[in-house]
Structure 1
Amino acid sequence: MGDLDISALRSAYDSQLRAYDPELPGITVEFDGPLKRASGMMGGGYIVYESLGGLDGADLDALIARQRDIFRDRGEQVEWKLHGHDEPADLAHRLTAHGFEPEEQETVVIGPVAPLAAALPVVPAGIRLRDVTDRADFDRIVAMEEAVWSDDRGWIADMLEQEITAHPSDIVVTVAEDEQTNEVVSAGWVRFVPGTAFATLWGGSTLPAYRRRGIYRALVAHRARMADANGFTLLQVDASDDSRPILERLGFVAVTTTTPYVYHP
């Protein structure tokens, strides 16, 4: 496969994924200078941008304060998605000064689809993978996620149902089930991002009793095959510290970090 060009992958990520506008019902997208501001999302609004275009100093502070005030007046929490290579270097400090609080950092990893798709997913004995489209299955995913994370994940079922209804060819949701009990033990979804080279992988939480058996790896390979069949050449994941080493062993490389900076009104 050769060495992957990390700076080229990072540039592709910035120019394709960070510039992409998903069109979903009920979501309002507004532009404010270099920023794209979305509200009406489940779980609150978000702010993204390809770059801040050299904005700095008082102008940048005013831009940050304006976003905070808009969401404060709406009573809606908002996430500013900060990347490790964003300029200026003191952006994180400016966000916290305006009341945005950092959450856990993740690593943006990218891998080529072809070799991942060629590796057949070895599904562990007693487990089956199944692509799902029904609300009942999305609710079962929520039950698994809530068992793993001990917090309210009901919005996931609403989000998946809404996306599959609006753009059925742009997302596939897969569950891993215990063949004996039919319990959902892990789940992941792949989004095919129109007009880009990228398919993006999400989910991947696994019940503690089923970890270290290769279920997550099998889910990655299964979704890579679907990405390949749909003509996408790159896979991207916002990887937690748990999944990053698995993904790197599969051929993904780290290109930057991402940290949600959240303002709670």
Structure 2
Amino acid sequence: MDRDELIRVRAEYDARMRRGARADSAGARVERAGAVVRQTAAADGWNCVLWSDLDGTDADAEIAAQVAHYRERGVGEFEWKLYDHDRPADLGERLRAAGFVAEPPETLMVGRTADLAGLSVEPPEGITLRAVTDEAGVDLMMAVHAGAFGVERPRIRHMMLTLLREEPETIAAVVAMAGDTPVSAARMEMRPGTPFAGLWGGGTVPGWRGRGIYRLLVAHRARIAAGLGIPYLQVDASDDSRPILERLGFGVLGVTTPYLRTTGT
């Protein structure tokens, strides 16, 4: 993508996926509250400020209002998802001053689905793909996450089971199997009527990295998105994933940093 297209796509991403965001599960609610758009879910769901339009005069008060909002609803922790083009320029510093802790930054990347769906990628020898459609498949994904990232992710497990049960059309997940052993996994989230499908959770256990499985799972999900007429794939890429995605044709829209805040203090 050239610079003009990237600028246009970023504006569309902000408009459709942030200001016009839809809830990521049936039990969550997205609302415009003053100068922010936020999602409020149950304590085990994703609670997050998705978008804001602040200036130097209202930012601190708005930050305090969001902390109060989630505290009043009994949410123990929530996220403020900050993008490097958000205003004011010192919003990250203001969040840290208000008790938020920054997670590692990620690169917001977008690729054309039609281009990525046409990638010719063969599975490495001994690898087969298994679609995740039930609890057993979700548990295989969670085993990969534990092996690849070194952490348990109960919130992701709960979200996956809820979506498969209540909104299966919004999720497509896959596990790469080496015989009976899960070695890589990833998912794609799709909000009906939006032009972006999000690629999430891509990870491969040590010992199977560097064999093209990550690339295989990107192409697999791109073909699903292309079949549904979704024009773009979006990724919040880690430093490890970014060079792979750039080689596949993804362009950079910016940098996003999750800021986490507990509400008990």
Q: Scaled by the length of structure 2, what TM-score is found? A: 0.92
Describe how 1:1-265 pairs up with structure 2 within 5 A.
3=2, 5-18=5-18, 19-22=20-23, 24-37=25-38, 38-40=40-42, 42=44, 45-49=47-51, 51-52=52-53, 55-73=54-72, 74-179=74-179, 182-265=180-263
In 1, are the aligned partners of 2:25 and 2:159 still within 8 Å (CA)?
no
For 1:61 and 1:3, the matched residues in 2 are separated by: 36
Letter in 2 for 1:45: N
Aligned residues: 259
Percent identity between matched residues is 44
In 2, are the aligned partners of 1:44 and 1:77 still within 8 Å (CA)?
no
For 1:23 and 1:159, the matched residues in 2 are separated by: 9
Residues 126-159 of structure 1 deviation map (CA, whole Å, 9 limit, x = unaligned): 1011212110110121122112222221222211
- Show structure 1 runs of 5+ residues with no match: none
For 1:40 and 1:237, the matched residues in 2 are separated by: 25
Tell me which moved more, 93-102 or 141-150: 141-150
Aligned to 2:58, what secondary structure does the other structure show? helix
In 2, are the aligned partners of 1:121 and 1:219 still within 8 Å (CA)?
no
Identify if the C-alpha distance between structure 1 residues 186 and 241 changes in structure 2 by more than 3 Å, giving closer, same or farther: same
- Show structure 2 runs of 5+ residues with no match: none
For 2:159 and 2:139, the matched residues in 1 are separated by: 11
Residues 189-243 of structure 1 deviation map (CA, whole Å, 9 limit, x = unaligned): 1122221211111111110110000000000000000111100111100000010
For 2:215 and 2:75, the matched residues in 1 are separated by: 40
Letter in 1 for 2:144: M
Shift of 1:72: 3.4
For 1:241 and 1:151, the matched residues in 2 are separated by: 18
Tell me which moved more, 99-108 or 141-150: 141-150
For 1:186 and 1:27, the matched residues in 2 are separated by: 29
Letter in 1 for 2:58: D
For 2:126 and 2:139, the matched residues in 1 are separated by: 22
Tell me which moved more, 237-246 or 67-76: 67-76
Letter in 2 for 1:47: V
Aligned to 1:210, what secondary structure does the other structure show? coil
Tell me which moved more, 104-113 or 138-147: 138-147
Q: Scaled by the length of structure 1, what TM-score is found? A: 0.92
